[in-house]
Structure 1
């Protein structure tokens, strides 16, 4: 190659090299510019997103924030109605606030080195830690813990909850910045040391605050802990349940290595931060801490008073607080309940708030009335039925003796407000904590007015004297009968059918009601929402045949609708909840729903009054000591006398009672044939005791006023319709005779026709008119059936899945 060619080649190489460098430089500049723009855009979007998250956040003022970060752990307080104190919620958390001067410097140094090494430098948050935690949360790369300064932890513990949604995290950061602005580092540290949790003490109690931690672990105040003890305490907040040396019964764990290793980690961080010398670090590492742990102690919890009320209020308060928590996070009940873990998380948060924040929970329970109801069940519980004795096997396979007493659940409820004034949860709380007032059982025939008669009156299918067929039926294999496998074999007016709780007329009427539309809307508007699609599909629902049943509280609530002009007020037991400072955090908002017209409610109640005066509950009128002229009620007994009910309403209150056995151990005990009479008598004694305690409580002197829309019509007693001319077997006749007053909700009946009743076959009507033409009593039993017009008749229903055969 010539020199000229060589130079030419070099020039070409240099040219392309310069060109490549230029391209790379240009590319890098473009990438850098793009990165800056993208970064700025991302920062802008991030700041915008952050701003949107906190845009609706209420920022507490200085006074409120000071009160919140320094609030000590205090259990919630429970109250009867009228602010009568019930007691304090039991909590397994002990705490004691002390000033920073009463805390050893060993502890303050250990905590800051472990929980927040930049505590004295940052302004409430550590930006790089927040960014690291955010990236970890979004990508799943790295440990998804940390990122919270000690100030943020304080905000989370005392102002917010532990839920970690992005919105909550953004609020946490904002409040941490505000706390750091308002308060000194010493004030923040003191608040944290009094609020943080430190595992369990030697009594098995959960501990909050370093003072109780020192006392519960080593039996000394926080001011006297040595370096090793301080490091151990400081290591606990990261995972209290893992590092605590004690079990939940206060016994020392066999393996203490996790907590001791954590203690050494804390010591190293203190040494690394130049807060202790190397010699002190080594000495504390070698220190035998196990000899300082206290032996097991005794937890002297006070006995719970009013156990059924206590459990009910604490559970309902937890549900209320839980709902507030997830709604604040923008979640629905469906979303929360779909995830067991998420639901459990909110349960835990609500429990912690109730245990620690000193709420005041005000209930609707009238203490004198509640005590009166307890006196009755205590005195007369044994008379409800015998106690059975049996043997079964425990979890270890050992034979044990068990007792099966008859149980009772009762509820007294205000019709207009829905407030539950009193209840009976069971015979003995110490032996069974199951609250039978809120446990689902088969309603038997107590469901008839709600599911059959009231909807039929509302849909203008019947009046109070409309005739219903009571003849042999077969609905695709379902062959219900009246009590004792009897059949009346006659046409019966609706009032009498309800009064004596005949089954076949109820089934015939229910079929007619269903043909005009579902009864589900009526039931759910009355507060009964536990019935299944299978329940609504089966005709047996008319007699109380359900998959799971209804609670006594739900039954009382539903019946209150009929004594409240067809308006249903949701039942409730918690009136309001306030925080420790008296601020209302929950207030029950009364809601009423129209279920039936006032005319329907009046007519149904009027018919149920006949149940009390001369029907299946006629003994109530003689057993009670007050005026029952405005009392309406209904009995109910399920198949084989498994459940026995009576629900009675005045214009002011509804009192529902249920009796039966729990049959926990696979047993199948039933009540006797006299169960309905026993239940009626118990209801009367219960109502008498309530009346004696407060004569105004039952509203016995309030009258049921007939509203506009109730039409009172004189009908032919034999047919339940107006007189009329018709042709029967080629013969023209005028159907008339004895007349009777019948009530209708906004309509009037037509003239008598050949088929004048609900249900019945051609041969049933032919037999009726044959008697009529022959001058015999057309209302007498046909086809050889037995008429039982005035005899006490109780029957059975069904608690299991499918149809109900017989019920009262």
Structure 2
């Protein structure tokens, strides 16, 4: 027989359970509020970053691996019929419930009991948004409860249409497309959602039920069948007429090919991303997922010209026994120093080493930067000045001419055209290492204290230089002595249009316009009458060749490690390097820098077509 005490104990247990339950509920509600507060920025859709060329045309969409291609759309860009189609297919009672749909939950529960498994049914649009943004896809009761609580919190903080817009921007549509705008552009070539036709809206609304099987690229037949289901549903609820439904059901089409991206230009893409990280302090992931617009100086025609020339085996020396001869080119706009094209290898594949920013020994291509440029800048020397051409030692350093002959004296013009070593070292000893190195720094190439020796007059550097640095330095000669940093990026905007970075040109005088003009005359002579003849184009070209020797015992005297050409026309400046990644007794070049000069001409001719 139950006593009154038993009744009180049962009541006490009930009260305790109720209090514990309320405390747990409050904790979960509080946790959901904290989760939303701390991660509110996650509601902003992961949007791919768009890269544009020098004319403002989109050339790429960058996204993190696995994140997909995302393009955010604002609510005002989404036509009412698009919103209605998704509400009908995903959550018919969306506008009447508070984030949790009891009817949907009851139906899902009956299905679970019948099939004896825990499914994802019954989730409202708001719950799906909560799961996608704040939770995981783990199938557990605790996760489901958290999802419902966060959904209720979201409903209190945002309007229904705001939630719907967030949902459509986070929704996955197959083929790595995240968000309805990215899907519309991929499957129909339409970036403005307001231009979507009824059949296209229905096709998109049908995809989320099974993104891998209902997108029109992977399975067109199923996609069309699913479109018909959505259209019938829209007709049933009075959103479209019977005639509209039949016409939209009958449409057949071929999905467009995916738009090209910077996988075509991996060397340039890699440099753009690295420069963006350096300039903004943002991580690679933040840049790729932040919906930024990166405006660059890329000229796709110039880039294609370089790729075409590099694809021609005849423009390269023979391959070695174990390696393929490689190359790199950088092309700059003269007035701005914007990188118009960059190629880091012969095959230009994603992940390939970008040799345009790898250091190599420059050889004689460095002479104008470290010897003749500073000499002209002093005002004490001119292209007609006589320079000593004789074999002599400077302490323990005793340079020699490759020909083995010495004329006693030559003019600066002759020394540059024929790339004679002895006059260059003699002149460097006269103007002084300190002055020459400071001049080089003004052209963007800062040397280390360990480089303070006369060997730098022949391009003998501790660490070497990159093709990009050489192009930047030569651009000073082409630009009347004015210096600007070589750069790929003009500006970067965030998704709201705010400029987060903009290139500011230095446009400072690195050398006098008179000295730069004299240098151009010297370098024009190299192409017309000297070692750079292979770079001739039938119009004015200024430039300089460079070669470094292998230094291997037993290698032929003419064996080369690096061959260079740096030059400019009236529009652009370019630097070209050709060689092996790892020069060895099995892999070296027989030939001189005329090969690099020929590559310069091949690229420029392609650019003029």
After TM superposition, the score normalised by the length of structure 1 is 0.47
Show the counterpart of 1:459: 378
C-alpha change, 1:305 and 1:67, in structure 2 (3 Å) is farther
* 1:79 paired residue number: 52
**Residue 102 to residue 513, structure 1, CA distance change in 2 (3 Å):** farther
Shift of 1:94: 4.1
> CA distance change for structure 1 residues 504 and 432 in 2, over 3 Å: closer, same or farther?
farther
Out of 320, 335, 338, which is 1:419 matched to?
338
Change (3 A) 1:667 1:483: closer
Cα 1:209–1:232 shift into 2, 3 Å: closer
Number of the residue aligned with 1:377: 310
Q: 1:413 to 1:365 in 2, by over 3 A?
A: same
- Alignment correspondent of 1:540: 455
1:499 to partner: Cα distance: 0.8
User: Equivalent of 2:295, from 334, 354, 362?
Assistant: 362
Tell me if the contact between 1:608 and 1:632 (Cα under 8 Å) persists in the aligned partners. Answer: yes
Pairing 1:596–2:511 present: yes
Distance 1:375 1:436 in 2: 17
Kindly report the root-mean-square deviation, in angstroms, between the aligned alpha carbons of the 2 structures: 3.3
For the residues of structure 2 that align with 1:619 and 1:74, how far apart are their CA atoms? 48
Match of 2:439?
522
Q: Partners in 1 of 2:284 and 2:269 — Cα distance?
A: 14
SS in 2 for 1:585: strand
Say whether 1:690 aligns with 2:607.
Answer: yes
Quote the residue 2:272 is aligned against.
313
SS of equivalent residue, structure 2 residue 597: helix
CA deviation digits over 1:371-420, x for unaligned, max 9? 1211111124x541223344xxxxxxxxxxxxx21111111111221111
CA distance in 1, matches of 2:149, 2:387: 79
Deviation at 1:475, TM superposition (A): 1.5
Structure index of larger Rg: 1
Q: How much does 1:668 deviate? A: 6.3
3-state SS of paired residue (2:312)? helix
Distance in 1 of aligned mates of 2:142 and 2:561: 67
Aligned to 2:414: 496
Do the aligned residues in 1 keep the contact of 2:49 with 2:292 (CA within 8 Å)? yes
Q: How does 1:409-448 map to 2 (within 5 A)?
A: 409-430=328-349, 433-448=352-367
Residues 82-93 of structure 1: matches in 2 within 5 Å? 82-92=55-65
2:321 and 2:586 in contact (8 A); partners too: no
Contact 1:564–1:651 under 8 Å retained in 2: no
> Match for residue 586 of structure 1?
501
- Going from structure 1 to structure 2, the CA distance change for 1:557 and 1:231 (only over 3 Å counts) comes to same
In the aligned structure 2, how far is the partner of 1:233 from the partner of 1:487?
A: 88
- Could you tell me whether the CA contact under 8 Å between 1:73 and 1:357 is conserved in 2? yes
TM-score of the two chains, using structure 2 as the length reference: 0.61
Unaligned runs of 5+ in 1: 1-65, 107-189, 199-207, 219-224, 236-299, 323-348, 391-403, 693-808
Q: What is the deviation of 1:563?
A: 1.6
SS state at 2:55 partner: helix
Q: Deviations over 1:670-707 (max 9, x none)?
A: 211x2322222111111111122xxxxxxxxxxxxxxx
Figure out how many residues of one structure are paired with residues of the other and give that number. 408
Question: Alpha carbons of 1:598 and 1:232: their partners in 2 closer, same or farther (altered >3 Å)?
Answer: same
Structure 2 counterparts to residues 233-244 of structure 1, below 5 A = none
Q: Give a deviation string over 1:741-763, Cα, whole Å, max 9, x none.
A: xxxxxxxxxxxxxxxxxxxxxxx
Q: Deviation of residue 93 (structure 1)?
A: 5.5
Q: How many angstroms does 1:226 deviate by?
A: 3.0
Contact 2:482-2:508 at 8 Å conserved across structures? yes
The answer on whether the counterparts of 2:266 and 2:350 sit within 8 Å (CA) in structure 1 is: no
